[in-house]
Chain A
Amino acid sequence: MRNLEVMLFFSLIEGVLLLLLYRTVIEEIPLKRLLKFITPAYVLGYLGVYFFLDYKLYIPSYTYPFHQIVMLVTVLLFFADRMKRMNEIFLTENPMFWISCGFLFFYTGSIFYFALHNTLFASYPSISKNGWLIHSTMLVIMNLFLAIGILKIRKA
């Protein structure tokens, strides 16, 4: 099994866990229902994209962007939910706000790299390798935001 396949398996678990997390955090009923629909659709879509589009590719280029798009939509649903409940709590005091900011930066920052990964690997192998730098930088940013979120949880 290749490293990237392990990463894809890990991403599937990560995606399901994140969707379940946001289902508990989002309070607006229509958005909650939408997430209830998105969760199984995500799993099926993820497996479908992998087996129909990415399976034969040396480097998967569709599955991970698919995962990132679903996660971005979920994060945006969270922001939409918060915008309907603006008067309840200051956003900056809400740990989930910081955690969501982390995810938003991470997924928006690395989506292009993963979408173009296969082409980059074929045409610009050196850039492809250095491109992991983008992913790592985004991971650092995400973890910084997660740390702020965790600190806010401790304060709360």
Chain B
Amino acid sequence: MSILPVLIFGTFSLLFMAVAIISFVMFYQRKVIAHQLQIQQKEEEMQRELLRATLKAQEDEMQRIGKDLHDDIGLKLISVKNKVIGGLMNINKETDEANYLEQAKNDLEAIRNEIRSISHTLYPSALDLNGLSFALEKICKDLNGYEGIKISFRLSGEYKKEKREIEIALYRIALECMNNAIKHSQCTEINLTLIYREQDFSLEISDNGNGFDASDLMKQEGLGLKNIQSRAKAIGAELKFESSKNGTKVLVNQLIQVQKNQ
């Protein structure tokens, strides 16, 4: 047998084998990475699902308490207040008893208002009835002037009603951010802006307070930031914090789901 074909055939066979080995390794890696990515996505989805379920259970419980407070305790307080008013009508208004009853009536009214406010926070009925934009506008109006802080709301674009879980998450995020701003930032102004675009919409909560170290978010305990982050994560929203000495801005960006599903 001539040596030349052995040389040519052998060399090309080995080169072909080299190409095959490299292709196999590259193909195998692609397969492994794709598989891992799939597992990772599934795990993330499961985590999100779990978070969503936890938040939903929490939300349902809050709603139940809110409704109970409003319907049950609220009505009982009205009934007690009516009895006090009835009592007031039957006694001389100049007596000490009348003064006590008058005081009790005022206290009952204050308690009822407090309970109403708590129940509205726990169960934002305005959100269910009129949607996120209306609920945010209402809460801003209600809180405007609280501790001397000017709170304003602005809607940009045409409001589109979203899934309840998304609207409630954004509503809670807005409340948490406003709460943080009022409690910790020493601000004089809070602005809420809800912007609707074609594909997505965003909620922007900004204040002119002290700000905080946004790069060290997870260490900011007690600011409810983890709560904000988990709510944003549960609905798959993009969350951004910007903070400086001149104030804080929280931006939540969410893809429009309702339109996407249609």
Contacts and interface: CB of A to CB of B under 8 A. Distances in A.
B211 to A, nearest CB: 37
Given A87-B33, A111-B14, A104 B7 contact: no
User: Mostly helix, strand, loop or mixed at chain B's interface?
Assistant: helix
B18 interface: yes
A134 interface: yes
Interface residues of B, number: 19
A116 B26 contact: no
Interface of B: 3-4, 6-7, 10-11, 14-15, 17-18, 21-22, 25-26, 28-29, 32-33, 36
A124 interface: yes
B4 A91 contact: no
A83 interface: yes
A105 B15 contact: yes
A119 B2 CA distance: 11
A101 B26 CA distance: 11
Given A90-B29, A91-B26, A112 B21 contact: no
A82 B25 contact: yes
Contacts of A108: 14-15, 17-18
User: Mostly helix, strand, loop or mixed at chain A's interface?
Assistant: helix
A50 B157 CA distance: 83
Interface in A74-90: 76, 79, 82-83, 86-87, 90
B10 A112 contact: yes
Given A83-B25, A87-B32, A119 B17 contact: no
Given A120-B7, A123-B3, A109 B33 contact: no
A87 B15 contact: no
Contacts of A104: 18, 21-22
Given A101-B22, A104-B22, A134-B11, A112 B6 contact: yes
A83 B21 contact: no
Max chain B Cβ within 10 angstroms of own Cβ: one of A104, A120, A131: A104
13 contacts: A79-B21, A79-B25, A82-B25, A83-B25, A90-B33, A91-B25, A91-B29, A104-B18, A105-B15, A108-B17, A113-B11, A116-B7, A119-B3
